[in-house]
Structure 1
Amino acid sequence: MKAPRPAARRTLLTALLLALLGHVAVLGFLRILLQPPTLLRELAQPMYTRTLQAEAPPGPVAVAPAPVKVSTPNRPTAVVRSAQPATKTRAKPTPKPAKRPARAASASADDDAVADPASPAVSAPSDAPPPDADTATATATAQQNAPLEPQSPASAAQAAASAPDVPPSDAAPGDAGTQVASAASAPASEASAPADAEPAFLKTWPRDTRLRYHLSGNYRGELHGDAQVLWQREGTRYQTVVQMDVGILLSSRFTSQGAITDQGLKPEVYEEQVRKKRRGVRIGEDVRLNNGTRVPRPNEVQDAASQFVELGHRFATGQLQLTPGGQVNFWLARPGGVDEWTYDVVGEETLHLPRLGPVQAVHLKPRPLNKPRGPIMAEIWFAPSLQYLPVRIRITQGADTFVDLMVDTIDQR
């Protein structure tokens, strides 16, 4: 039997190699198709309108003292007194020692009643003797000095509506009708506030933010690429994405979605995609790992993507202090398990960023876990002058494998 010729041998080897590559491609395609569907919800891409520059971190907010109301005995406060419409009064005649006729005394009492509209009308029975001038004057003076009863906004507004119109030239500053109308309309405007207004605690969170990084590192040689951290919120819902682009073999994307509460971020879904492989974790009443195992859910647990935003928010709001030599503890959920991490506060360092120049940042370094699930660790630098955002992230996987992310630009909506 003759041996195959060299040309036929090469053709056979080429056919075997092509068949093997075809099987590998088919198996890879089937693995992608057989992956469980993603649990993430697609969000619309925001439009960024400004680029951040380093600035002094905000200090404590000064609160002005409340004004003190001063009241005089036997005299109503200015607010209550202004409820009466301003009118012109007649000058009361000076009583004489001699007794006046009954008709003059009655007229004087009527004039005093007109001078103060808040005084009730006093009328004597037709068969009663008319009072003398001294008695009428004393009665009118007592009625003017008597404290006024506070009026409700409804009754005050009704009184202002029924008061006679006063020309603008004759109206006194701070006209009572205007003050009463403003006081009556204030509760109505408060009641008409939208019921679906955003909670106050949302104001402490940054707007939609995109941090672009220059990526360098080493993995079987030098690495160069781009990375970004995205923070986005819609009402009380949020999404955080950490994405690194270093060619086809090392590109990865880590995504966290959940709710923003007054206690901080509450992750619900976390997924990571390295190359074409996708893994995830569900966080609800418990934590469901990628293999289906359920473990207890620790309080304030975070994931590998939400930790960057949650830690920055705690530092910015003073919940955690960045004291050199201190430490930060929190639970972290990943597809393989849930662990408690400890970050040591190394201290403040000066970073020379490509576009932002020298920036002071606080360095946090994690301690190795007692039962590590892998050699991956992430050191973080937070900049107080840039809203405590993570301006540098260094991810290591052994001594010779690492990526270093230095922020290039920071955009916000």
Structure 2
Amino acid sequence: MKRTLYRNLESMLLATVIATSASATLAQTPAKRSFNLPPSADLNYAINANQRGLPLNGTAIIHWKTDKATYSITTETRAMLLGKILEAKSEGTIDAFGLAPLTSTEKRYRKDPTTATFNRDAKTISFSASDASYPIKGGEQDRNSVVWQLATIARSTPNKFKTGASIPLTVVGQKDADAWVFKVNKAEKIKTATGDLNTIKVSRVIKDGDKDQKLDIWFAPSMEWYPARVRITEPDGDFIEQTLTKADPV
């Protein structure tokens, strides 16, 4: 009789331990989510820039491709007289946080290419241009994928894109990673080669006194939430602005 009671008690304790362990695992693992990514497309842009006091014009093309399980972003920017000034590529998978980069590569004018590698097995981010290393906690983006992660958030969870909302993201550059916060601004109408577009502007929040790169993105809800305009402004006032001229589904 006692042995039977002991066996029953042991079984109950074991079941409790297993249940507790499973609950802890579920609490630590983000729930699987279904993300609504923008459809694959080739996007053409006109470039307007000011670099070291010199005005520059040019073109850019972004190849955005996804099969809902993986993605790739390839960007090529050309300036008049100078030719190709930037090549960038980000590719990865889709996980419980959205876009999950595996590699991000940049090749700037007259500079060697640099690569940030997201080692998902080791849960670390490493860089070809520095000895820095950062842990992967989930949701980290590179500077190419972050625009498309924001578009994916807008399409998947519209309640997070209300005016005044803040969206925190860890953004990986070519040498390090930083905590960025984006603010959703009021709707704006902008002029493009495809006509006037109603857009939602999202801006990186820069604290007073910080000398950080600013990023403004104008998303077009009527065009699958593609970025209709992107403007990068340096602390010294230099900027690069690209405005959509054509979007072709692929």
Superposition TM-score, scaled by structure 2 size: 0.76
Contact 1:329 1:342 in 2 (8 A): yes
Q: Residue in 1 aligned with 2:215?
A: 378
Report matched runs for 1:191-210 at 5 Å.
Answer: 201=34, 204-210=36-42
1:251 counterpart SS class: strand
Q: Residue in 1 aligned with 2:153?
A: 314
Match of residue 346, structure 1, among 152, 162, 185: 185
**Structure with a larger share of its residues in helix:** 1
2: distance between equivalents of 1:302 and 1:214? 25
Q: Residue in 1 aligned with 2:143?
A: 304
Q: Percent identity?
A: 19
Evaluate the alpha carbon distance shift between residue 260 and residue 228 of structure 1 in structure 2; reply closer, same or farther with a 3 A threshold: same
2: distance between equivalents of 1:293 and 1:389? 33
- Higher RCO (CA 8 Å, separation ≥ 6 residues): 2
Q: 4+ runs of 1 displaced by more than 3 Å?
A: 247-250, 369-372
Is 1:364 aligned with 2:202? Answer: yes
1: distance between equivalents of 2:162 and 2:39? 27
- The amino acid of 1:395's aligned partner reads I
2: distance between equivalents of 1:375 and 1:341? 10
Report matched runs for 1:243-254 at 5 Å.
Answer: 243-246=76-79, 247-248=81-82, 251-254=85-88
1: distance between equivalents of 2:249 and 2:182? 28
Q: Residue in 2 aligned with 1:277?
A: 112
Alignment RMSD: 2.4
Is 1:327 aligned with 2:166? Answer: yes
1:51-80 CA-to-partner distances (Å, cap 9, x unmatched) read xxxxxxxxxxxxxxxxxxxxxxxxxxxxxx
2: distance between equivalents of 1:370 and 1:336? 24
Q: Residue in 2 aligned with 1:238?
A: 71
- The amino acid of 1:227's aligned partner reads A
Is 1:294 aligned with 2:133? Answer: yes
Report matched runs for 1:2-401 at 5 Å.
Answer: 201=34, 204-219=36-51, 220-234=53-67, 236-246=69-79, 247-248=81-82, 251-275=85-109, 276-284=111-119, 285-290=123-128, 291-318=130-157, 321-354=160-193, 356-368=194-206, 375-401=212-238
Q: Residue in 2 aligned with 1:53?
A: none
Contact 1:289 1:336 in 2 (8 A): yes
Give 1 or 2 for the bigger CA radius of gyration.
1
2: distance between equivalents of 1:370 and 1:283? 31
Contact 2:171 2:178 in 1 (8 A): yes
Evaluate the alpha carbon distance shift between residue 250 and residue 320 of structure 1 in structure 2; reply closer, same or farther with a 3 A threshold: farther
**Structure with a larger share of its residues in strand:** 2
Alpha-carbon offset, residue 264 of structure 1: 1.3
1:321 counterpart SS class: helix
Q: Residue in 1 aligned with 2:23?
A: none
1:232-254 CA-to-partner distances (Å, cap 9, x unmatched) read 13562221123321153771122
Contact 2:97 2:138 in 1 (8 A): no
- The amino acid of 1:266's aligned partner reads A
Q: Structure 1 unaligned segments of length 5 or more: list them.
A: 1-199
